[in-house]
Chain A
Amino acid sequence: MRRLWSVYGGYVVGFASLFVIWHLASVYLVSSVLFPPPAVVFKKGVVLLRNGVLCDNLSASLQRILMGFIAGSVLGMPIGLAMGSFRPVRKLLEPYTEFLRFIPSVAMITVAVIWFGIGEASKIFLIIYTTIFIVILNTAAGVSAIAPNKIRAAESLGATRAQIFLHVALPATLPYILTGMRLAMANSFTTIVAAELIAANDGLGKMLWDGRLFMLVDDIFVSLVTLGLLGFAVDRMFRWSIYTFAGKYSPTT
């Protein structure tokens, strides 16, 4: 019990204070229907959960994020590994990564809708776009951070180039890849909400937009809180996996 408290106590107090301050602010500071207190939002959340609205929108957004995020990571990893390992590949691809990563995915929404329509394809394209460059850059940085002696040791132990890639470069780069994915996940949230705000039939972003359109302020807040909680949960998962792997999979030890 005491141990549990020392680990999670801070969180509990932190979160509780967040809700207390929110409550005080909305009741005493700006007492207006435009800023509902947490209890009202929670009640509305339960209602939306019961009638399925929240679940539908949540799963629509989550599905888009996951599909685009996984596709972007799976594509970005080998590209990053290749760019980090082979100088010609890096020189060839750097113009693409260096150019495109400065065009924010939000700016690509219009193009995505024109190309892929208002449906799933445009959202998944945008999430892939927002994921892939961060994963590429982090993976490539991870490869260049490998201690040269790790590669040399493998060479003089008789490993082939392919084996070095698979058994040395890849595991040594894993913490960097995970860090890249973690950053990409945070960006995916921004992108999906922006995309759904502009062009979508469902999703947490659409919920925000509808809330504005029909003056459903409580719905807006339910969507916001859901985004916050979802992001927090996903990020914890990443932090946990980085933490468990990083001890072992560290480029320096």
Chain B
Amino acid sequence: MPLVSFRDVEKTYRSLQGVDYHAVEHFSLDIEAGEFFCLLGPSGCGKTTVLRMLAGFEAPTAGEILMDGRPVTGASRDRAVVFQGDDSLYGWLTAIENVEFGLRMRRVPKAERRERAMRYLDLVGLTGQAQKYPAELSGGMKQRIQIARVLANEPTMLLMDEPFAALDAQTRALMQEELANIWQAERTTVLFITHDIDEAVTLGQRIGVMRAGPRSGVKGVVDVALNGARNRTDDTFLAYYRQVYAMIRDEVAAAIARTR
């Protein structure tokens, strides 16, 4: 049994003028326990919508989402979310206090949660920044805090919504590498959302390509048979890149044509 299954999920937004927008329709997808799944699609195709429904922030209009065989009814600590921007961090808490937030809510004793939070800050390379406030940290550091914050809470799976999209190219490459290493060590199930083919091929074990909206769904899933460190100049890497690119280019064109 897959860890997560989307079954014919549909999400319709109603605008203030009363016009319906069918963001996704007949969206079906299985995610296996322990895998790193990348959901790739052109901007505006409904990736965040899918993530929000799985996170339990919004209910599907139709269809169902199962996790461990049970329908998702709301947010829960088994599905931790790394958000796209930095507005989910708590500006009044220091880096380490942000990381231990979930543990504090569960009343883990102070000494223990400090130690655990420190361990995860260490894992994301922010040991020296523990006492700084988010406003004092760079964009990359803030995304690391978000990652440490969800890992410290030991969720069943991670939902990541384009976590590196706003970073500069060098920082992004570095963060991708670190995330790959962390995943190799922790083996938590990950649903990673991106619009970047390179990022998807670099990180994903499987890549789900979405169609352009409206009524978006999964166009196809590519298995990436690459293990360990991936090399962007490698022939197999490039072959996967081309394969995914061939799938998504029409969708990108359609997305641009639609918004014009």
Interface residues, chain A, CB within 8 Å of chain B?
147, 149-150, 152-160, 163, 167-168, 171-172, 174, 247-253
Whether A158 contacts B135 in the complex (CB less than 8 A), given A147-B88, A249-B91, A253-B91, comes out as no
- Give me 12 A-to-B residue pairs in the complex whose CB atoms sit less than 8 angstroms apart, sorted by A's number: A155-B57, A155-B75, A156-B76, A157-B80, A158-B106, A159-B102, A167-B104, A172-B92, A247-B133, A247-B135, A250-B135, A253-B89
Whether A153 contacts B91 in the complex (CB less than 8 A), given A158-B102, A160-B105, comes out as no
Instruction: Tell me, rounded to whole Å, the shortest Cβ–Cβ distance linking A86 to chain B.
Output: 17
Interface residues, chain B, CB within 8 Å of chain A?
55-57, 74-77, 79-81, 83, 85-92, 101-102, 104-106, 133-135, 149-150, 153, 155
Instruction: Tell me whether chain A's interface is mostly helix, strand or loop, or mixed.
Output: helix
Most buried by A among B74, B75, B89, B134: B75
Q: B56 contacts which chain A residues (CB < 8 A)?
A: 155-156
Most buried by B among A160, A251, A253: A253
Measured between alpha carbons, how far is A249 from B56 in the docked complex, in Å?
27
Whether A154 contacts B101 in the complex (CB less than 8 A), given A149-B85, A249-B91, A250-B91, comes out as yes
Whether A168 contacts B90 in the complex (CB less than 8 A), given A156-B55, A158-B102, A159-B105, comes out as yes
User: Apart from A149-B87, A156-B75, A252-B91, what are 10 other A-B pairs with CB-CB below 8 Å?
Assistant: A152-B83, A154-B105, A155-B57, A156-B79, A156-B155, A158-B153, A167-B104, A174-B92, A248-B135, A249-B91
Measured between alpha carbons, how far is A51 from B26 in the docked complex, in Å?
86
Instruction: Tell me, rounded to whole Å, the shortest Cβ–Cβ distance linking B159 to chain A.
Output: 8
Whether B134 and A253, one on each chain, are in contact in the complex, defined by CB atoms closer than 8 angstroms, is yes
Instruction: Tell me, rounded to whole Å, the shortest Cβ–Cβ distance linking A164 to chain B.
Output: 9
Residue of B nearest to A152 (CB): B57
Measured between alpha carbons, how far is A56 from B123 in the docked complex, in Å?
63
Candidates A163, A171, A172, A174; contact of B105 at CB < 8 Å: A163
Measured between alpha carbons, how far is A147 from B134 in the docked complex, in Å?
15
Whether B91 and A152, one on each chain, are in contact in the complex, defined by CB atoms closer than 8 angstroms, is no
Whether A157 contacts B87 in the complex (CB less than 8 A), given A248-B92, A249-B92, comes out as no
Measured between alpha carbons, how far is A149 from B104 in the docked complex, in Å?
19
Q: A247 contacts which chain B residues (CB < 8 A)?
A: 133, 135
